[in-house]
């Protein structure tokens, strides 16, 4: 691991030894004493690598609690690994500290940040392997490279969906997008008449996603295609449709919604657009051959992850993969979209 410069009197070695070395619990991290991590997959397995960057006030709020910033950064990557059916192995951390970190609050912020990493490392068996810390100027930028492993040749792709497959999602959809809306417009909760518990629930779903690591094994065994919902249900369904060369028909009335989201939609029905397109769900979108549907549901139940069938895969007419929304079986147009969404 490397670090450059000093932060509020914290030199490079303080930074690494005080905050990060305690997190480097895997042998492959070389205890952060080198500029590299060294490791190999288990016999018969291969690595799945994924990388996400997050910038302050773009992907999280600069004034979010430091421990939650850390945990969200790990979780969005854990979600990517789970969608590929991969078991998490560890991560490399790129930490660009913004200008405000030059102040005396740096040590306190880093203490919280490291505590957040430690909490989720423990929860998901996902140790720090290495990384780099720099000064990034005006704002903080995080970059996580996550490593997982799958049996060779078994990583679940976006491109395997076949006509007839069932489409499942985990958890509930739209909470995070509604949470972000509440965060951006403090008056919105009152306008919608949301209770305090519902408001808190939606805000927390934005702040701290729940990566479906427990579902990875069912995804690996039972699915034909999978991804995590980060761009929004419609956009991510579009990724599967395009890469698999299929149509997807999703029935809006079957969409799993939290009580809080239902309350918001009852007050303002056009929020359905936000639910379907808002993103940051970090739930899994999984296509399952019909013969595997029951087994997938049973595996998910064993894993303790709720899953809901929300549609079907159809063959694509005229080589133009499309996501079609229905409501009670009838075509359903999102407000402001002027038609079905094509991707």
Q: Footprint of a copy of itself on this chain (CB under 8 A)? A: 2, 4, 30, 33-41, 45-59, 80-81, 83-84, 86, 92-96, 129-139, 141, 143, 145, 147, 150, 152, 155, 157-159, 227-228, 230-231, 243
- 90 annotated among ligand-binding-site residues: no
- 131 annotated among ligand-binding-site residues: yes
Helix (H) or strand (E) holding 74: helix 66-83
Structure tokens at 333: 């147009």
List of residues 6+ apart from 264 with CB closer than 8 A: 178, 192, 194, 198, 202, 271
In angstroms, give the least distance from the CB of 126 to a copy of itself: 15
- 80 annotated among ligand-binding-site residues: yes
- The nearer residue to a copy of itself, 135 or 327, going by C-beta atoms, is 135
- 281 annotated among ligand-binding-site residues: no
First to last CA, the chain: 41
Please state, in angstroms and rounded to a whole number, the distance separating the CA atoms of residues 145 and 94.
8
In angstroms, give the least distance from the CB of 18 to a copy of itself: 16
In angstroms, give the least distance from the CB of 200 to a copy of itself: 27
Structure tokens at 123: 């929860």
- The nearer residue to a copy of itself, 33 or 302, going by C-beta atoms, is 33
- The nearer residue to a copy of itself, 54 or 252, going by C-beta atoms, is 54
- The nearer residue to a copy of itself, 67 or 80, going by C-beta atoms, is 80
- 34 annotated among ligand-binding-site residues: no
Structure tokens at 273: 């657009």
- 4 annotated among ligand-binding-site residues: no
CB 124 within 8 A of CB 77: no
Give the three-state DSSP class for 245. coil
In angstroms, give the least distance from the CB of 20 to a copy of itself: 13
How do 2-3 and 284-288 pair as beta strands?
unpaired
- 136 annotated among ligand-binding-site residues: no
In angstroms, give the least distance from the CB of 189 to a copy of itself: 27
- 52 annotated among ligand-binding-site residues: yes
Please state, in angstroms and rounded to a whole number, the distance separating the CA atoms of residues 200 and 130.
35
- The nearer residue to a copy of itself, 43 or 291, going by C-beta atoms, is 43
**CA distances to 37, 38, 70, 148 from 125, in Å:** 17, 18, 15, 11
Please state, in angstroms and rounded to a whole number, the distance separating the CA atoms of residues 178 and 185.
10
In angstroms, give the least distance from the CB of 332 to a copy of itself: 25
- Size of the chain in residues: 343
- The nearer residue to a copy of itself, 49 or 295, going by C-beta atoms, is 49
Half-sphere exposure of 306 (CA within 13 A, CB side): 10
- The nearer residue to a copy of itself, 101 or 261, going by C-beta atoms, is 101
For the annotated binding site for ATP, the residues are 131-132, 158, 230
Which residues belong to the annotated binding site for substrate?
Answer: 59, 280, 340
Binding site membership: which residues?
35, 50, 52, 59, 80, 131-132, 158, 228, 230-231, 280, 340
């Amino acid at each position: 691991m490397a670090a450059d410069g000093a932060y509020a009197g914290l030199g490079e070695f303080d930074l690494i030894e005080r905050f990060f070395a305690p997190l480097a619990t895997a042998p492959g991290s070389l205890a952060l004493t080198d500029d590299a991590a060294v490791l190999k997959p288990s016999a018969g397995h291969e690595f799945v690598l994924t990388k996400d960057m997050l910038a302050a006030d773009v992907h999280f709020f600069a004034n979010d609690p430091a421990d939650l910033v850390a945990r969200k950064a790990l979780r969005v990557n854990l979600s990517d690994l789970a969608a590929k059916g991969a078991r998490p192995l560890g991560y490399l951390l790129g930490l660009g500290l913004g200008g405000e970190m030059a102040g005396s609050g740096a040590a306190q912020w880093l203490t919280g940040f490291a505590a957040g990493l430690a909490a989720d490392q423990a929860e998901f068996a996902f140790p720090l392997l290495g990384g780099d810390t720099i000064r990034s100027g005006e704002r903080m930028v995080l970059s996580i490279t996550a490593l997982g492993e799958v049996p060779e040749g078994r990583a679940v792709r976006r491109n395997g969906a076949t006509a007839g497959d069932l489409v499942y999602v985990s958890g509930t959809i739209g909470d995070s997008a509604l949470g972000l809306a509440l965060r951006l417009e403090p008056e919105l909760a009152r306008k919608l008449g949301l209770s305090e518990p519902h408001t808190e629930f939606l805000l927390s779903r934005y702040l701290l996603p729940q990566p479906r690591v427990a579902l990875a094994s069912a995804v690996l065994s039972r699915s034909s295609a999978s991804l995590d919902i980060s761009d929004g249900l419609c956009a991510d369904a579009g990724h599967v449709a395009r890469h698999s060369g299929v149509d997807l028909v999703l029935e809006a009335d079957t969409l799993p919604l939290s009580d809080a989201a239902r309350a918001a939609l009852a007050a303002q029905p056009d929020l359905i657009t936000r639910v379907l397109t808002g993103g940051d769900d970090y739930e899994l979108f999984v296509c399952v051959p019909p013969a595997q549907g029951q087994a997938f549901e049973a595996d998910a139940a064993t894993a303790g992850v709720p899953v809901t069938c929300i549609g079907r895969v159809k063959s694509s007419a005229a080589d133009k993969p499309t996501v079609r929304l229905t409501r009670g079986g009838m075509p359903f147009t999102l407000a402001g979209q002027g038609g079905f969404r094509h991707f």
